[in-house]
Amino acid sequence: MPLQLKLSVPTNQVADMTVEYVQLPSEEGSMGVLQNHAPLRAALQPGVMTARDLEHKNHYFFVSSGLAMIKDNVITVLADSAERAEDIDEARAQKAGERARERIQSPEPHTDIARAEIALAKAIARINAKHKLGALH
Ligand code: ATP
């Protein structure tokens, strides 16, 4: 049975594709999934998800926090936000990263540092996803 990847965010489905391999950014580190993987649930952290299709072409996605579930050759990824690398606005991610860095470096009394650290991790992961795509061309 082929391996299917279904990536969704709360508002829509970002990808539904047949794959031979997926690499996920789980909280425990990078996780590779091939056909006939044992059932598993894993928490995601912001990072780059790589999906290799049946023609051995890599597709790159940004995924934020969320959950990945593997069962019966279906990988279901439910992320708070996710984009195909093609759809990432790098300048916007750079700006978000700069804002987060500023908040971390010069916090004000009300600054939520943990939130700024997550925003920075997301910005870095978006830029990384975009750069992986760029490296292909
Ligand atoms: P920003 O501060 O730039 O809004 P964010 O990390 O707070 O970034 P999210 O809450 O993750 O943004 O996402 C809000 C919406 O904007 C989602 O639909 C997400 O896909 C989209 N989005 C956010 N940043 C980018 C980006 N750099 N390129 C493309 N889409 C983005």
Report the pLDDT value the prediction gives residue 129, as an integer from 0 to 100. 97
Report the pLDDT value the prediction gives residue 113, as an integer from 0 to 100. 95
Residue 137, pLDDT above cutoff 90: no
What is the distance between the alpha carbons of residues 133 and 38, in angstroms, rounded to a whole number? 30
Q: Which domains does the chain have, with CATH numbers?
A: 3-85 (2.60.15.10), 87-136 (1.20.5.440)
- Name the residue with the closest Cα to ligand 1, atom 8: 96
Q: pLDDT, tens digit, for every residue of 62-111? A: 999 999 999 999 999 999 999 999 999 999 999 999 999 999 999 899 99
Q: pLDDT, tens digit, for every residue of 109-129? A: 999 999 999 999 999 999 999
Question: Is there a contact between 86 and 30 (Cβ–Cβ < 8 Å)?
Answer: no
What is the distance between the alpha carbons of residues 19 and 73, in angstroms, rounded to a whole number? 10
Residues in the ligand 1 pocket, defined by CB under 6 Å:
64, 81, 83, 87-89, 92-93, 96, 119, 122, 126
